[in-house]
Amino acid sequence: MKYSKLHFYQEQTEKLEEMGSRLRQLRTQKSISLEEVAQKTRIQARLLRAIEEADLDQLPEPVYIKGFIKRFADALGLDGTEFASSFPTGEGIKLIRPSWRHMRAAQLRPLHLYLLYICLVIGAVNGLSYFVKRSAIQAIQPINVREQIDQLPVPKNGQQIEQKQKIEPNKAANVSQQSQTVKPVQVNVSLKAESWIRVVVDGKTEFEGVLPEGTQRTWVAKEKLSVRAGNAGGVEVAYNDQTAKQLGAPGEVQEVTFAANPNIRNPRY
């Protein structure tokens, strides 16, 4: 797996060196500056320079690099779609995962089944023990509260009532604090221009790809949600029905993270 990633990275670098050299040579022949190309393509000059110098560390994900190369080539009079088609993005690479149906029967030996049986028994015992302890704690707590109230001294009529009334607000406060559940994270994404988007919900990638202009999508997370865009100027993000905000400048790669905990704030949004 490490060899495949290294091979793919080398292939991208070599192809980008070839394509970047061709674009720089053609741009120089036509006496066009990078700033002019940046103004025409709405791609930052530093990204165009990184393409010419084959500097992958300064560029976003491969699928968006391919889009930059297409627009760069179009600005110089080439057929951008055909020119950029040879840049590898890794979309065709698929991992072959083993299936239990394809495993030979000889691989499942009696020793393996015995170990699996032991693990299942241990898991069942631990789970049953946890639920028994939890039920016992829940049954004891009301009794302890009742015993504390009944043990209060009653030197005069009405004093016990006053002390019980003092206990009840505290109990109500605890219930109120417990009822303040954390709201889930809801993020609405609107695209004013085509952009590559990656959305990670609670540590799991829910979407990754290029969305066209006019697309509106909504994602919800329990704890944390991250949005990364290759063209931040074309992406507007609204957090929990708040006013939508532009993610960044056109052509800029930007990422923002929203957390369900109100004490955690993202400094980049």
pLDDT at position 136, please? 56
Cα dihedral sign, 53-57-60-65? positive
pLDDT at position 130, please? 75
157-194 pLDDT, tens digit per residue, is 544 444 444 434 444 444 334 434 567 889 888 999 99
- pTM for this predicted structure: 0.40
Contact 30, 64 (CB under 8 A): no
220-251 pLDDT, tens digit per residue, is 999 998 999 999 899 999 988 899 999 889 88
* Cross-strand bridge partners of residue 107: none
DSSP state of 209: E
Residues in CB range of 64: below 8 A, 6 or more apart? 196, 210, 230, 231, 253
What are the two backbone dihedrals, phi and then psi, of residue 54, each rounded to the nearest 5 degrees? 55, 40
**pLDDT tens, N- to C-terminus, the chain (269 residues):** 444 677 888 889 999 999 999 999 999 999 999 999 999 999 999 999 999 999 999 999 999 999 999 999 999 999 999 999 999 987 655 433 444 343 443 344 566 676 887 878 788 778 777 765 776 555 545 444 455 545 555 545 544 444 444 434 444 444 334 434 567 889 888 999 999 999 999 999 999 988 999 999 999 999 998 999 999 899 999 988 899 999 889 888 899 898 987 565 454 55
Closest CA to 27 of 61, 64, 74: 74
Tokens (6 digits) for 261? 């905990």
